[in-house]
Amino acid sequence: MKYFFSFILLIYFVSSKANAQPATSGNPIIKGWYADPEAAIFNNQYWIYPTYSDKYSKQVFFDAFSSNDLVHWKTHPRILDTADVKWAKRAMWAPAIVEKDKKYYFFFAANDIQNNNEYGGIGIAVADKPEGPFKDYLGKPLIDKFYNGAQPIDQFVFKDKDGQYYIIYGGWQHCNIARLKNDFTGIVPFNDGTLFKEITPKGYVEGPFMFIRNNKYYFMWSEGGWTGPDYSVAYAVADNPFGPFERVGKILEQDSTVARGAGHHSIIHNSKKDLWYIVYHRRPLGETAANKRATCIEPLFFDDKGFIMPVKLSFTGVAPQSLK
């Protein structure tokens, strides 16, 4: 009988260990090589839309990932690929997504154009659900040329307090902002007739992101080269989306004990609990290949004056957190 009860206890212990829920998300949070993550909240779920990190010729699709708690992630494969975007041939990068009028608009860059004689740039796809399937919305790029020196990549779509949507984008150390038409079919000129205003802060390279907190506009971006260890994230604060943006400093960068090349991020805000998170990619220690990039998450904090506190890279990630 003694051995029987010991056997039962052993079975219970093993079963409990097997069914135990992870205490944190861990980092990376997604298996495989993914970069430039766009994070969003739709229908009480967390979503991540990253770049598939591989050779440009193989970057011909996007996967998405959803979670109810930031810890367990479900893969939604190939929500968009070049079969549905006839003008996109390669280098599909850095998505941005917004929900508007019960539709999901998925902005992306394609073809890595190097000058105005090449065809490509920033496009839009649309779907009825956050997991797609997405279809080409315009049949052509929304922005297909260089303006103010900005390569048409790394788009972020920002909704201002008055409901106006802006597209903020740009590579090659230049960043533009433009007003989007209400149906996202084009660009609306500013009052002075210009279509694109440059808002490039000091140190900017690529990967813009903007959010509002306590009526202040936080503008964030990536610095350094994306293939190297010094890739990082810095930010500025202004009173409106046009700036001027005075650089405050870096808040995310490499840690020699954890990872290199930490950059190109987005922000999640759980407004019900006022919890903030930064989702970003980094290159694991020991990896030197440019496309060996993994998507990770950390908590984001502000000090009493509203400044963003430096983010500590970790292997633990974040604790489970539902949106309900």
pLDDT at 1: 47
* pLDDT over 80 at 11, yes or no: no
List, in sequence order, the alpha helices (H) in the chain: 2-19
| Backbone φ and ψ of 165, nearest 5° | -100, 135
Q: Are 324 and 265 in contact (CB under 8 A)?
A: no
How far apart CA 229 and CA 262 sit, in angstroms, is 8
Separation CA 3–CA 221 (nearest Å): 63
Q: Is 63 a catalytic residue?
A: no
Predicted confidence (pLDDT) per residue in 86-132, tens digit: 999 999 999 999 999 999 999 999 999 999 999 999 999 999 999 99
DSSP 246-274: EEEEEEE--BTTTEEEEEEEEEEEETTTT
Average pLDDT over residues 32-36: 98
pLDDT at 13: 38
| Contact predicate 166/180, CB 8 Å | yes
Total Cβ atoms within 10 A of residue 72: 13
Q: Which two tokens stand for residue 220?
A: 């964030």
Whether 251 and 311 have beta carbons less than 8 Å apart is answered as: yes
- 36, 63, 112, 253: the catalytic one is 36
pTM of the model: 0.93
Mean pLDDT along residues 20-25: 78
Neighbours of 125 (CB within 10 A): 24
State both tokens at 58: 């193989």
Q: How confident is the model at residue 244 (pLDDT cuts 50, 70, 90)?
A: very high
Q: Is 172 exposed, middle or buried (0-12, 13-18, 19+ CB in 10 A)?
A: middle
pLDDT of residue 20: 55
Encoded amino acid at 290, one letter: A
- pLDDT (tens digit per residue) in 161-207: 999 999 999 999 999 999 999 999 999 999 999 999 999 999 999 99
Contact between residue 42 and residue 22 where contact means Cβ atoms under 8 Å apart: no
User: In whole angstroms, what is the distance from residue 173 CA to residue 151 CA?
Assistant: 9
21 pLDDT tier (thresholds 50, 70, 90):
low
Q: What is the DSSP letter of 165?
A: E
pLDDT tens digits, 64-82: 999 999 999 999 999 999 9
Q: Binning pLDDT at 50, 70 and 90, where does residue 324 land?
A: confident
| H or E, element range at 169 | strand 165-169
- Pairing status of strand 93-100 against strand 74-81: unpaired
Q: Which of 69, 112, 154, 206 is catalytic?
A: 206
Residue 9, pLDDT above cutoff 80? no
Name all domains of the chain by residue range, CATH numbers in brackets. 27-300 (2.115.10.20)
Three-state DSSP state, 39: strand
Report the Cα 269 to chain-centroid distance in Å.
13
Q: What is the mean pLDDT of residues 311-322?
A: 98
* 14 confidence band (pLDDT: 50, 70, 90): very low
Q: Which among 86, 87, 33 is positioned nearest to 58, based on CA atoms?
A: 33
Structure tokens at 305: 């004056």
